[in-house]
Homo-oligomer: A and B are copies of this chain.
Amino acid sequence: MARLVLVDDPADERLADYVRLRDVSLRRHLETEQGLFIAEGEKVIRRALEAGYRPRSFLLAERWLAGLADLLAAHPDVEVYVVSEALAEEVTGFHVHRGALASLHRQQRHTVADLLTLRRLVVCEDVVDHTNVGAILRSAAGLGFDGCLLAPRAADPLYRRSVKVSMGAVFSLPWARLEDWAEAVPTLRSAGFWTVALALSDDARDLSEVAAEAAADPGRRVALLLGTEGDGLSRRWVEQADVVARIPMARGIDSLNVAAAAAVACYAFGPAS
Contact = CB atoms under 8 A, between A and B. Distances in A.
A89 B26 CA distance: 19
A142 B249 contact: yes
Interface in A238-273: 247-257, 259-264, 267-268, 271-272
B139 A169 contact: no
Nearest to A144: B250
Contacts of A272: 250
A259 B247 CA distance: 16
Contact of A250 (B131, B143, B261): B143
Q: Contact residue range for chain A?
A: 20 to 34
A257 B260 CA distance: 10
Interface string A119-146: 0000000000001000100110111100
A268 B267 contact: yes
A204 interface: no
Contact of A260 (B139, B248, B254): B139
Given A247-B267, A250-B144, A256 B138 contact: yes
A173 to B, nearest CB: 7
A165 interface: yes
A228 interface: no
A253 B169 contact: yes
Contacts of A253: 138, 141-142, 167, 169, 172
A173 B256 contact: no
Interface of A: 131, 135, 138-139, 141-144, 165, 167, 169, 172-173, 247-257, 259-264, 267-268, 271-272
5 contacts: A139-B257, A172-B251, A172-B252, A260-B262, A267-B268
